[in-house]
Amino acid sequence: MSGVAEALNSAVVVDLSGLNCPLPVLKTKAALAREPAGTLLEVIVTHPDSVREFEVLCSADNIELEEFFEESGRYIYRIRKLG
- Which residues are part of the catalytic machinery? 21
Instruction: Tell me how far apart the alpha carbons of residues 45 and 55 are, in angstroms, rounded to a whole number.
Output: 14
- The Cα-based distances of 21 to 7, 18, 35, 42, 47 in angstroms read 30, 10, 22, 17, 7
Instruction: Tell me how far apart the alpha carbons of residues 83 and 7 are, in angstroms, rounded to a whole number.
Output: 16
Whether 44 contacts 16, CB under 8 Å: yes
